Amino acid sequence: MKFECDKCGLCCRHINRCIGGLLEEFDTGNGTCKFLDTETNLCKIYSERPDICSVERAYKKYFSELYTEEEFFRINYKACAELKREHSKLN
């Protein structure tokens, strides 16, 4: 399976909401990842990004004993949709 990301950048603008504080070291202080290019919404270190930033790799490394792959993808798609809903209400 492959997680289909539309590269909107909203998850990278809200890393402070990541479970367990797994991305704390990348937070600029306002919830935005220090590696997000805010002009393009793309990751500046995409090819070397941490495993937690890749849904597929994060599943294999951290969550495969907790969820099926389908469940984990569904959780991530739901979180993505919620961020988009919240963002659309603000704009």
- Answer whether residue 8 is part of any domain: no
Cβ atoms of 34 and 28 closer than 8 Å: yes
- Answer whether residue 72 is part of any domain: yes
**pLDDT score of 68 more than 80:** yes
CA distance 71 to 58: 13
Q: Using one digit for the tens of pLDDT, what is the confidence trace for 6-62? A: 999 999 999 998 867 788 999 999 999 999 999 999 999 999 999 999 999 999 999
- Answer whether residue 6 is part of any domain: no
CA distance 39 to 25: 22
For residue 63, what is the DSSP state? I
CA distance 10 to 36: 10
- Answer whether residue 27 is part of any domain: yes
- Answer whether residue 51 is part of any domain: yes
- What per-residue confidence (pLDDT) applies to 2? 92
Work out how many domains the chain is built from and give that number. 1
Does the model's pTM come out above 0.75? Answer: yes
- Answer whether residue 29 is part of any domain: yes
CA distance 24 to 90: 25
